[in-house]
Structure 1
Amino acid sequence: MTEPILNGEPEWSLQTPPPLPPGYDKHHIVMLEAVHLALPPFIFPHTIDNYQRTRPDEVAERIKPATIVISNVVDVNPAAMENAPHLQLLAVYATGFGWVDKQYCARRGITVMNCPSANIPAVSEHFLALYFASRKRVPMIDHIVKTSDEWVRTNSLAKRVWPQGPTLGCQQETLGIVGYGALGKRIEMLCRSIGFKEVLIAERKGSEEVREGRVTFEDMLKRSTTVVLVCPREPDTIDLIGDVELKMMRREALLVNMSRGGIVNEAALSRALKGGWIFGAATDVLDKEPGGPGTTPLLPDLSKGEEPVPNLVISSHVAWFSGQTIETLQGIMKRNLEGFVEGRLYDPKVKGSVAVHDGRIWKLT
């Protein structure tokens, strides 16, 4: 098994253009999810199959002729890549690439590149949108006012919306951050700037050592009034938050997931919200996407008489979406593909995007 190489400067072996496979006179690109955003123009000769959407069961057949595959969130797994004998580069048109089997790509000699930190401003701002919408229960109030005369009859919705008493203000909030990369640091900065009382940085769950400036994972859960998840989805973060963790949290706590589906056990979160274990939750991601009624315990099918999950705000994996993010993503993708084709992975503007190359893993997240 290939061991990750995470420290030190790699000695890049690819400093000349990679040879094309036999029978190819130019690269063939397969873009699996053009629905999210368009590709930039590339200066190297190529052909392209540009698919708006691709279901998981369509991936293997569609990538068969590719030398370069571009995906956003649809999983290009080893079984699919076995059907693509000429694949040289898997380019992830996003920051997160936890779904990529890096060990397999290293063994196959497939280079993997992502677009690091492209969406940090947009996602951190979306966190604030979800935080305020959830803490202030804006969707609930909006629904009541638009669909009933309750406000007219009662003069105040405060007791209906907050039966447990007044909600917390920013100066009463203790923020717990799970995942202290660029996104976690920016969310910390934004929350401090709007007056959060305290910020706790969680150590890895189960870690026996606590780094300076951090608290144990369990201590963070017990003390925080708002917990934000901004960690990558990896084998050790799946079901990171379940029944046990939710029961550790304060009754006034708010849980916000800005990372990936599956990090929060959705059945457990449904139980927690229905049982009033925590104040509320918000998520921009689901374990199965796209989602809708009946696809997750968080989205019961109301047409079948199922009860809704209370105090939950969901957005459709759109936290990244902004003009700035799109411009940044397109710029990084252009540099990545042209750098790969021209043999410039050692270029300082390109090498930070390289996750797997030359049979070795250069970064995990």
Structure 2
Amino acid sequence: MADVLISEFMDRGVAEGLISEFDTYWDPDLWGKRDELKSRIASAKAIVVRNGTLVDVDLLDAAPNLKVVARMGVGLDTIDVAACKARGIEVCPSIGANAVSVAEYVIASAMILLRGPTYFATPDVAAGAWDRPKFAGSTEIAGRVMGIVGFGSIGQVVGDKARGMGMEVIAYDAMMSDDHPAWADARRVDLDALVAEADVISLHCPKLPETIDLIDKRQFERMKPEAVLVNSARGGIVNEKDCAEALRSAQLAGAALDTLDVEPITAEVGAMFQGIENLILTPHVAGVTKESNRRIAEVAAQNVRRVLG
């Protein structure tokens, strides 16, 4: 049995590097084959995962030799970090490796949403409807206020790009100290003030008990009616029913949701979004580009090499 398991998709060149150095088993679909995964992890010293592999006590009990969980990405909500720590297993996220990809998604989504119906004109134009008044009169991103919730590595890159577009940056981070150098480039505010002042609200906080439904009806009521929301963090941070209602009632001008409470979303759950204009839904791919795939894979591989020696 292999010493290294790769249970999800990985940049091929990086995966082949691990295969050449260690006894490695790679199956991009292994995360969904629970019984086989539990069997193969019995001998493994390392497992490389994305966000599909559930690393819980049940799996860890089947992995007596495991030394490291190398996460291709940053979110750890599918990994029982406390149980890993109790067993002396290192959990190593690829911090910062997909920050540029996520930040570009945020800025692009914000620009599209602030332009209102402009980028959704294709069906009308293709049908011969040349209704310029309907699709004009939207808002520039320059001069707007970017509100960032969670000002870690990704949030800071979003802030850098937002400033480059001529935006003012405000941020809320419950964990960051007042003397952190990141505050030199952003004005620190509390959450209530941020949602009330920002034209673009971008979420980059982890999913924790205290952040579930962080953005709910109460916060939507505080927002400007011309504000837009981008969630590229974790599903569950935004109350999706409240978000759908805010969009339908024009309490919120637009939203881009890359992460959802239930992933993959079902048609039944997704019905709440049907017919809503100025809404972008994507399947948790904000941080997934060719370049970021290689970077996060390289960080994960280096963590495996470091731990296994």
Structure 1 and Structure 2 fold alike (TM over 0.5): yes
Within 5 Å, which residues of 2 pair with 1:1-365? 28-34=3-9, 37-38=11-12, 39-42=15-18, 44-52=21-29, 54-55=31-32, 60=38, 63-74=41-52, 75-136=54-115, 137-146=117-126, 148-151=127-130, 155-156=131-132, 158-159=133-134, 161=135, 166-196=137-167, 198-204=168-174, 213-291=187-265, 293-296=267-270, 298-299=272-273, 307-342=274-309
Counterpart code for 2:7: L
Flag the structure with higher helix content: 2
Q: TM-score, normalised by structure 1?
A: 0.73
Counterpart code for 1:30: L
1:309-336 C-alpha deviation (Å, 9 max, x unpaired) = 3321122222223333233223222211
260 and 298 in structure 1: CA distance in 2 versus 1, 3 angstrom threshold: farther
Give the drift of 1:64: 4.2
Cα distance between partner residues in 1 of 2:301 and 2:16: 6
SS of the counterpart of 1:227? strand
Greater Rg by CA:
1
Give the drift of 1:60: 4.2
Give the drift of 1:139: 4.5
SS of the counterpart of 1:132? helix
SS of the counterpart of 1:54? helix
Identity of aligned residues (%): 25
Q: TM-score, normalised by structure 2?
A: 0.85
Q: Which consecutive residues of structure 2, in runs of 5 or more, have no partner in the other structure?
A: none
User: Which shows bigger deviation, 183-192 or 37-46?
Assistant: 37-46
SS of the counterpart of 1:99? coil
SS of the counterpart of 1:170? coil
Work out whether residues 44 and 341 of structure 1, in 8 Å CA contact, stay in contact via their aligned partners in 2. Answer: no
Work out whether residues 266 and 297 of structure 1, in 8 Å CA contact, stay in contact via their aligned partners in 2. Answer: no
SS of the counterpart of 1:33? coil
Counterpart code for 2:28: Y
Q: CA RMSD in A?
A: 2.7
Higher relative contact order (CA 8 A, sep 6+): 1
267 and 57 in structure 1: CA distance in 2 versus 1, 3 angstrom threshold: farther
User: Which shows bigger deviation, 313-322 or 118-127?
Assistant: 313-322
Work out whether residues 71 and 91 of structure 1, in 8 Å CA contact, stay in contact via their aligned partners in 2. Answer: yes
Give the drift of 1:72: 0.2
SS of the counterpart of 2:192? helix
297 and 177 in structure 1: CA distance in 2 versus 1, 3 angstrom threshold: farther
Cα distance between partner residues in 2 of 1:56 and 1:231: 30
Give the drift of 1:203: 4.2
Q: Which consecutive residues of structure 1, in runs of 5 or more, have no partner in the other structure?
A: 1-23, 300-306, 343-365
Cα distance between partner residues in 2 of 1:311 and 1:57: 39
41 and 174 in structure 1: CA distance in 2 versus 1, 3 angstrom threshold: same
